């Protein structure tokens, strides 16, 4: 009997055990737990993200940068950044910029770029943050990366070229500037910077100046720059050709005419130089210094009559020491060219006219010809009392003496009798 009772109890225990096991829920897997957590967060995000986005936009609009940052902090913690990472991280970073926290802006942007590595706007802000932090190398790297992401964006290239120039990386600057000009051949700023970069790098910039003028033939300053480089390179004939184009484009350019005359003078085309200076003088008939330049050219040609006419015109216009000296120099150069082995009376008359004008120029504060004046006196070639004493009665009675030989046929001025003669 006892044995039957024991068997009955064991049977009941087994049944109960099965029943209990069937009622206990099974353990959840890790995947199921993750799915459940994601579902919970999604439900939270579904409610919170729109609200926080709205708050962030309102804070940004009101320029409450601290609140804006806090809102974007919450958005990223909730995972709301995954829906529109560009908007989140761009304005998140800008808010930090307005707070002057460029290091924090950098961190935010780098995180945003993990979602959108090729986003141009985010990388532009990152380059800006590097700039504000003085991280030049990182900024250059970022701008260089941007030139590949946005190859048609000239502003990026211009900024990078400028930075290369500041860092004296002229070869890199030249490469970027050439890329700019390839996109926009008439970009005057890039062309000017390219010419300067060539010079600073030690390269010959002449081709740059040529291309710049060829692409902009109506730009007078480009033509003048190109001509100046040609003159510096001892190519006056080529410079004259360029300058003729310039004066054709702008017949009123006094600078161009002056440079053209200098080019002709340097190329020993003295007649062309004189004519060009005369055209320049017609543009401004009150500029006595142009007349003086014409005097110098005609003296080089040994055309003393023309030189004297222009010197006389310069004196009439201004009466300044420079004009007086130029006129005296015509007499001096003519005397040196015409004098005979035995100094003649005519030689002495012309030498004295030169001496007197040099003296008048010095009284007016212009002493360029003081050495020539001293030479005339020291070498005793002046006309004075001894020479006057030897003049015949006719000359003495009229009270002056003139040069009359063929070499001095253009000399019309007379030398009056001096005091005490």
Helix, strand, or coil (residue 416)? strand
Percent share of the chain, pLDDT over 90 = 74
In this prediction, residue 23 carries a pLDDT of 47
Residue 245 domain-assigned (yes or no): no
Percent share of the chain, pLDDT over 70 = 90
Q: Where are the alpha helices (DSSP H) in 301-344?
A: 304-317, 321-338
- Cross-strand bridge partners of residue 348: none
- Cross-strand bridge partners of residue 401: 415
Question: How do residues 242-290 score in pLDDT, each as one tens digit?
Answer: 999 999 999 999 999 999 999 999 999 999 999 999 999 999 999 999 9
In this prediction, residue 18 carries a pLDDT of 46
Residue 90 domain-assigned (yes or no): yes
Question: How do residues 367-400 score in pLDDT, each as one tens digit?
Answer: 999 999 999 999 999 999 999 999 999 999 999 9
Residue 133 domain-assigned (yes or no): yes
According to the 3-state scheme, what is the secondary structure of 41-71? HHHHHHHHHHHHHHHHHHHHHCCCHHHHHHH
In this prediction, residue 36 carries a pLDDT of 59
Whether residue 247 contacts residue 253, with contact meaning beta carbons closer than 8 Å, is answered with yes
C-alpha dist (Å) from residue 202 to 171, 196, 324: 10, 10, 45
Quick check: 28 pLDDT over 60?
no
Candidates 52, 69, 68, 49; CA nearest to 60 is: 68
- C-alpha dihedral, 117 to 123 to 125 to 131, nearest 10°: 130
Residue 126 domain-assigned (yes or no): yes
Residue 59 domain-assigned (yes or no): yes
Quick check: 24 pLDDT over 60?
no
Q: State the average pLDDT for the chain.
A: 89
Residue 89 domain-assigned (yes or no): yes
C-alpha dist (Å) from residue 162 to 9, 157, 275: 96, 9, 44
Q: How confident is the model at residue 186 (pLDDT cuts 50, 70, 90)?
A: confident
Number of domains in the chain: 1
In this prediction, residue 31 carries a pLDDT of 61
Q: Indicate left, alpha or beta for 307 from its phi (over 0: left) and psi (-120 to 50: alpha).
A: alpha
Whether residue 414 contacts residue 400, with contact meaning beta carbons closer than 8 Å, is answered with yes
Q: Give me the phi and psi of 367, to 5 degrees please.
A: -120, 20
Q: How confident is the model at residue 30 (pLDDT cuts 50, 70, 90)?
A: low
What is the average pLDDT across 92-118? 96
The span from the CA of 349 to the CA of 366, in Å, is 23
What is the average pLDDT across 223-233? 92
The span from the CA of 59 to the CA of 120, in Å, is 25
The span from the CA of 50 to the CA of 330, in Å, is 93
Range of the domain at 47: 43-150
Residue 69 domain-assigned (yes or no): yes
Q: Which of 83-87, 247-251, 318-322 has the lowest mean pLDDT?
A: 83-87
The span from the CA of 246 to the CA of 240, in Å, is 10
Whole-structure pTM value = 0.62
Identify the DSSP state of 26.
P
Q: At what angle do helices 188-201 and 220-232 cross, to 10 degrees?
A: 20
Count Cβ atoms below 10 Å from residue 288 Cβ, excluding itself: 23
Count Cβ atoms below 10 Å from residue 378 Cβ, excluding itself: 8
In this prediction, residue 47 carries a pLDDT of 79
What is the average pLDDT across 396-416? 94
Q: How confident is the model at residue 162 (pLDDT cuts 50, 70, 90)?
A: very high
Residue 138 domain-assigned (yes or no): yes
Q: How confident is the model at residue 80 (pLDDT cuts 50, 70, 90)?
A: confident
Question: How do residues 144-158 score in pLDDT, each as one tens digit?
Answer: 999 999 999 999 999
C-alpha dist (Å) from residue 260 to 231, 239, 240, 404: 10, 8, 6, 38
- Cross-strand bridge partners of residue 415: 401
Write the CATH number for 119. Answer: 1.25.40.10
């Amino acid at each position: 009997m006892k044995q039957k009772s024991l068997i009955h109890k064991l049977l009941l225990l087994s049944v109960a055990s099965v029943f209990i096991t069937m009622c206990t829920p099974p353990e959840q897997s890790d995947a199921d737990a993750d799915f459940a957590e994601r579902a919970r967060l999604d439900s939270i995000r579904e409610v919170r993200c729109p609200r926080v986005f709205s708050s962030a936009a309102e804070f940004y609009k009101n320029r409450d940068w601290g609140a804006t940052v806090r809102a974007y902090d919450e958005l990223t913690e909730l995972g709301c950044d995954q829906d529109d990472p560009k908007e989140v991280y761009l304005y998140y970073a800008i808010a930090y910029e307005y707070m002057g926290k460029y290091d924090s802006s950098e961190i935010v942007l780098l995180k945003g770029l993990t979602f959108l590595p090729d986003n141009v706007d985010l990388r532009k802000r990152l380059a800006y943050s590097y700039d504000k932090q003085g991280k030049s190398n990182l900024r250059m790297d970022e701008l260089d990366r941007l030139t590949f992401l946005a190859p048609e964006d000239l502003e990026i290239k211009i900024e990078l070229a400028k930075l290369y120039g500041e860092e004296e990386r002229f070869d890199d600057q030249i490469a970027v500037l050439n890329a700019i000009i390839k996109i926009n051949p008439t970009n005057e700023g890039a062309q000017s910077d390219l010419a300067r970069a060539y010079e600073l790098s030690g390269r010959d910039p002449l081709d740059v100046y040529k291309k710049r003028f060829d692409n902009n033939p109506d730009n007078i300053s480009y033509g003048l720059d190109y001509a100046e480089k040609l003159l510096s390179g001892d190519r006056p004939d080529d410079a004259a050709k360029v300058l003729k184009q310039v004066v054709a484009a702008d017949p009123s350019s006094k600078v161009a005419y002056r440079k053209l005359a200098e080019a002709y003078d340097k190329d020993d085309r003295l007649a062309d130089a004189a004519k060009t200076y005369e055209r320049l003088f017609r543009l401004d008939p009150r500029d006595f210094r142009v007349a003086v330049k014409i005097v110098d050219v005609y003296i080089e040609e040994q055309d003393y009559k023309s030189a004297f006419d222009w010197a006389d015109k310069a004196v009439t216009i201004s009466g300044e020491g420079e004009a007086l000296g130029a006129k005296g120099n015509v007499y001096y150069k003519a005397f040196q060219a015409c004098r005979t082995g035995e100094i003649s009376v005519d030689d002495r008359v012309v030498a004295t006219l030169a001496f007197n004008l040099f003296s008048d120029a010095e009284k007016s504060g212009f002493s360029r010809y003081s050495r020539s004046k001293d030479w005339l006196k020291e070498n005793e070639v002046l006309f004075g009392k001894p020479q006057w004493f030897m003049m015949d009665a006719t000359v003495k009675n009229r009270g002056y003496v003139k040069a009359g030989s063929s070499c001095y046929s253009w000399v019309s001025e007379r030398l009056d009798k001096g005091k005490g003669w």
